[in-house]
Chain A
Amino acid sequence: MAKAVLMQGNEAAVEGALAAGMRFFAGYPITPSTEIAEKCALRLPQVGGKFIQMEDELSSMAAILGASAAGYKTMTATSGPGFSLMQENLGYGMMAEIPCVIVNVQRAGPSTGLPTSPSQGDYMQARWGTHGDHPVIAFSPSSVLETYTLIIRAFNLSEKYRTPVIFLMDEIVGHMREGVVLPDPNKLKINPRKTSFHDGAHKKCYYVPEGAFVPSMKPFGQGERYNVTGLVHDESGFPVNNSAIADKLISRLLSKIDDHVDDIVRVEEYQMEDADTAIVCFGGTARAAMDAIEAARAQGMRVGMFRPITVWPFPEKPLKARLPQLKRILMVEHNHGQMLLEVRRAVSGAVPVDFLGRIDGTVISPAEILANLNEKEAN
C-alpha cells in the first residue's frame, strides 16, 4: 500500500520529472523555483543523472538543449526574470525540434518584481515570449500531486511532438506542501525519444514521412551525422534561404500542435454539470475558486469551475461546449487579465465574461471570489 508523503510542489516537479526519465538538469538559482535546482542536485546523481549549475539562464536553456540533442531527457527551472532570458533558446528548441521541459515558477513582475509572491503574469509570455510564429505547449498544475503527474505528461508530449514544453507553475503551488500518494512508478506511461522511422541516410535527418508529424533523428553519437540549426532548414538540416521550404517547415511546426489540440488539451471541470456560472482559472488560483464554489453552492448559486490544465494551446473547444448552459463566466487569475483575453476570444460575446484579478503579489481569497459572485447575483 502506497504511503502518503508530505511534499512541496517544487519537490513534486523534480520527483515527477525523474519518474518521467529526466536525467539532466541545468539551471540557475532563482526564487521561487530554487528548490527544484537543489532537489535535482541531490537526486540526479543518485540515479546516474547529471546536474549542473550554469552561469545564467541563457546557458541553462542552451545546456538542456545540447544535452537533449545528445539523447537525454532534460529540464531547467526558473522564474520570471530567468524565463525572459531563456526565450531565445526556447525558440531555438522549437525550431530545431529538441524536446525538453522548462519549469517557470511564476513570481510577481514585471522585472525583478516581488520574488517570493505569487503571480500568473507569465501566461502570455509562455505563449509569445520567444520571437516569431511558433508552436507552444504549456501546462499549469494546481496541486502538488498534479504537479507530479502533469510534469510526466509534459515530458511525454515533449518527446511525442519534439518540442520544448513549458511547465507553468506559480508560487502558490511551488511552495505549497501537501500530503500526496504518488502513483506506482511501474504503472506510469513514459514516452521514449522517437528514433524509429528514420530512413538511415544521415542527410535527411529532418525528413518527416507521410502520416508522421515530427522527424525522428537519433541523438548525437549514435551513428547518424546530421546538422541542426535554428535557421530555416531543409530536410537535411542544412540552412536554406528559400520561401517554399520556409513555409513548409514553419507550417509543419505550427500544425503539429494545431492538428493535435484534442490530444494535448486537458481541462478539469468541477461541478459544471448544472452550473450556469463558470469560474475559469488555472494553476494555484483553482484552490480558492473551489472553496468559493462550495460556499456559493451552499447559498444556492449554481457555480462550477472550468480549469485549463493545458493552458497553451488554450482549451477553446471544451469551453465552447459549455457555453449553452452558461449565463456568466468569471475569469479569476493572478495577473491583470491575460487568460481573460483568450476566454473572451473563445466566447466571442456569447456569454458575459467578468474578471477578477490581482497584481499586488497577494493571493485571491475564496471570500473575494464569493463576494464577486454575490454582487453579480444581486444585480
Chain B
Amino acid sequence: MPSDLIHEYMRIDHLPQIWCAGCGNGVIMRDVAVAIDQLLKDEEYDFDRDDFVIVSGIGCSSRAAGYLDFNSIHTTHGRAIAFATGIKFANPKLKVIVLTGDGDCSAIGGNHLIHAARRNLGLTVICFNNHIYGMTGGQYSPTTPNGDVAATAPYGNVDRPFDIALLATGAGASFSARGDVFHARETTEIIRKAILHDGFSLVDVYSICPTSYGRQNHKGSAVDMLQWQKENLIPTAQFHAMSEQARAGKKEIGILAFNDYPEYTDEYAKVIEACRKQTGGKGRN
C-alpha cells in the first residue's frame, strides 16, 4: 500500500516507475503532486482536479505524465510545450502543466520554450533537468557542463551549456525559477507558486542521474549527488546573504524572474470580444 498522497494522485497500478535506482525524477514528480494537492485543498482557490492537464514530451522526465492520475498526454520529442499551447489556448480554464527534460525543452524543443515564454501563455513548464540524455544512455544535452564526459563526448564536452531558467528569463518569461531534488519542500513551494502564476512559468528543477550522468563523471552515488545539491544549490534568502566569494560555483534555488505581463489567452479573449462587438454581438458563420 502506498501513502495516501501517492494513492490519491498516481496511477499506482503502474508503479514502481521505470526510472533507475536513485533517479531524482520520482521526487520531482511527487513535488508536483504535493503542489497540486495543496492547491486543491486550499479554500482560497477554486481548482477542480479535472482541470489539471499534465503534458509531457519524450525522455526519462516525460514518463511522469503516465504515472500522474490527471488528464495526461505524453507527446512527441520536444513538442510538449507546443501541444500544451494548443490545449491551454483552446480551453484557458485548464491548468496545463508541462513535464519535460533538459533535452526535450532546450535542445529539440528549445524553439517552443522561448516562444511560449515570449507569448506568456499560462502554462507551467517543469523541467526535470538531469544534465544528460538518460533514456538513450548518457549522451550530452544542452545542459551538460562543459568538460563533462558523455557517451557522445568521450573526450569531454566542448559545448557550452544553457542555464534553462536564465534562458527562459531572457526569452521574456514572466515567471522563471530554479529548484532541485534535495530542496524538495522549497521546490514544491516554487512549483505551487508557478502553477498559481497567471502567465507562463518555468521551473528548472535539477534532478540527479546517478546511472547515465553520475557514473561516467565519477559523481558517486545518488546520495553523493544529493549531498552535492545540498552544498551547492542554495535557497534564495541564504544565497543572497552569502558573499560574492562564497557564491562561487554555487547556484540559487528560488524564483529568479517574476513579472506581471498580460497573459496570452486573456489578450486573445479581448480580440474575440472586440470582434463580437463589431459583428453586432453575434458570430457570423
Interface residues in chain A, defined as those with a beta carbon under 8 Å from any beta carbon in chain B: 18-19, 24, 26, 45-48, 50, 52, 54-56, 58-60, 62-72, 74, 88-89, 92, 96, 185, 220-231, 238-239
B4-45 to A contact mask, C-beta < 8 Å, 1/0: 000000010010000000000000000000000000000000
Nearest-Cβ distance from residue A361 to partner chain B, whole angstroms: 31
B249-285 to A contact mask, C-beta < 8 Å, 1/0: 0000000000000000000100110111011000111
* A interface: dominant SS: mixed
Can you add 11 more A-B contacts, CB < 8 Å, to A24-B89, A68-B86?
Answer: A45-B271, A45-B275, A46-B275, A46-B279, A47-B283, A69-B83, A70-B90, A221-B51, A221-B93, A225-B70, A228-B72
* Structural contact, A66 and B272, CB atoms closer than 8 A: no
* B interface: dominant SS: helix
Nearest-Cβ distance from residue B34 to partner chain A, whole angstroms: 18
Q: How far is the CA of A66 from the CA of B87 in the complex (A)?
A: 5
* Structural contact, B90 and A228, CB atoms closer than 8 A: no
Binds A, one of B73-81, B140-148, B203-211: B73-81
B202 sits at the interface (CB 8 A): no
If the complex has contacts A229-B66, A238-B66, are A185 and B89 also in contact, measured as CB distance less than 8 A? no
Q: Of B94, B272, B278, B284, which contacts A220 at CB under 8 A?
A: B94
B84 sits at the interface (CB 8 A): yes
Q: How far is the CA of A239 from the CA of B49 in the complex (A)?
A: 23
Q: Of A63, A70, A238, which contacts B82 at CB under 8 A?
A: A63
B53 sits at the interface (CB 8 A): yes
B198 sits at the interface (CB 8 A): no
Q: Which residues of A contact B102 (CB under 8 A)?
A: none
* Structural contact, B111 and A239, CB atoms closer than 8 A: no
B157 sits at the interface (CB 8 A): no
Q: How far is the CA of A54 from the CA of B79 in the complex (A)?
A: 12
* Structural contact, B74 and A239, CB atoms closer than 8 A: yes
* Structural contact, A70 and B91, CB atoms closer than 8 A: yes
Most buried by A among B87, B94, B279: B87
B100 sits at the interface (CB 8 A): no
Q: List 20 A-B contacts (CB under 8 A).
A: A46-B278, A46-B284, A47-B284, A48-B272, A55-B115, A58-B78, A59-B112, A62-B79, A63-B86, A63-B89, A65-B83, A67-B89, A70-B87, A72-B91, A89-B79, A220-B94, A225-B71, A227-B65, A227-B66, A239-B74
B50 sits at the interface (CB 8 A): yes
Q: Which residues of A contact B86 (CB under 8 A)?
A: 24, 26, 62-70, 74
* Structural contact, B50 and A221, CB atoms closer than 8 A: yes
* Structural contact, A70 and B111, CB atoms closer than 8 A: no
Q: Which residues of A contact B85 (CB under 8 A)?
A: 26, 52, 54, 59, 62-63, 66
* Structural contact, A50 and B76, CB atoms closer than 8 A: no
B177 sits at the interface (CB 8 A): no
B69 sits at the interface (CB 8 A): yes
Most buried by B among A45, A64, A67: A45
Q: Which residues of B contact A60 (CB under 8 A)?
A: 82
Q: How far is the CA of A342 from the CA of B129 in the complex (A)?
A: 49
Nearest-Cβ distance from residue B78 to partner chain A, whole angstroms: 8
Nearest-Cβ distance from residue B82 to partner chain A, whole angstroms: 3
Q: Which residues of A contact B83 (CB under 8 A)?
A: 62-63, 65-66, 69
Q: How far is the CA of A19 from the CA of B53 in the complex (A)?
A: 29
B55 sits at the interface (CB 8 A): yes
Q: Which residues of A contact B268 (CB under 8 A)?
A: 45, 50
Count B-side interface residues using an 8 Å CB cutoff: 46
Q: Which residues of B contact A239 (CB under 8 A)?
A: 66, 74
* Structural contact, A58 and B79, CB atoms closer than 8 A: yes
Q: How far is the CA of A69 from the CA of B90 in the complex (A)?
A: 9
If the complex has contacts A46-B279, A66-B55, are A24 and B90 also in contact, measured as CB distance less than 8 A? yes
Chain B, Cβ-Cβ closest to A230: B76
Nearest-Cβ distance from residue A55 to partner chain B, whole angstroms: 4
* Structural contact, A227 and B87, CB atoms closer than 8 A: no
Nearest-Cβ distance from residue B85 to partner chain A, whole angstroms: 5
Most buried by B among A18, A66, A88, A226: A66
Q: How far is the CA of A72 from the CA of B87 in the complex (A)?
A: 9
Q: How far is the CA of A222 from the CA of B93 in the complex (A)?
A: 11
Q: Of A67, A223, A228, which contacts B74 at CB under 8 A?
A: A228
* Structural contact, B279 and A220, CB atoms closer than 8 A: no
Q: How far is the CA of A60 from the CA of B65 in the complex (A)?
A: 22
Kindly list the 9 A-B residue pairs having the minimum CB-CB distance in the complex, ordered from nearest. Answer: A66-B86, A63-B86, A59-B82, A62-B82, A67-B90, A47-B283, A67-B86, A66-B83, A229-B74
Nearest-Cβ distance from residue A301 to partner chain B, whole angstroms: 46
Q: Which residues of B contact A96 (CB under 8 A)?
A: 73
Q: How far is the CA of A74 from the CA of B82 in the complex (A)?
A: 14
Q: Which residues of B contact A56 (CB under 8 A)?
A: 111
Chain B, Cβ-Cβ closest to A96: B73
Q: Of B50, B76, B112, B275, which contacts A88 at CB under 8 A?
A: B76
Q: Which residues of B contact A52 (CB under 8 A)?
A: 85, 89
Q: Which residues of A contact B284 (CB under 8 A)?
A: 46-47
Q: How far is the CA of A89 from the CA of B275 in the complex (A)?
A: 32
* Structural contact, B112 and A55, CB atoms closer than 8 A: yes
* Structural contact, A46 and B276, CB atoms closer than 8 A: yes
Nearest-Cβ distance from residue B223 to partner chain A, whole angstroms: 30
* Structural contact, A185 and B87, CB atoms closer than 8 A: no
Q: Of A54, A69, A238, which contacts B87 at CB under 8 A?
A: A69
Q: Of A50, A88, A228, which contacts B89 at CB under 8 A?
A: A50
If the complex has contacts A24-B90, A48-B276, A238-B66, are A227 and B50 also in contact, measured as CB distance less than 8 A? no
Nearest-Cβ distance from residue B81 to partner chain A, whole angstroms: 8
* Structural contact, B91 and A185, CB atoms closer than 8 A: no
Q: How far is the CA of A63 from the CA of B89 in the complex (A)?
A: 9
Nearest-Cβ distance from residue A218 to partner chain B, whole angstroms: 10
* Structural contact, B75 and A227, CB atoms closer than 8 A: no
Q: Which residues of A contact B14 (CB under 8 A)?
A: 238
Nearest-Cβ distance from residue B270 to partner chain A, whole angstroms: 10
Q: Which residues of B contact A71 (CB under 8 A)?
A: 90-91
Which residues in window 130-177 of B have CB below 8 A to A? none
Q: How far is the CA of A328 from the CA of B73 in the complex (A)?
A: 51
Q: Of B51, B72, B285, which contacts A185 at CB under 8 A?
A: B285
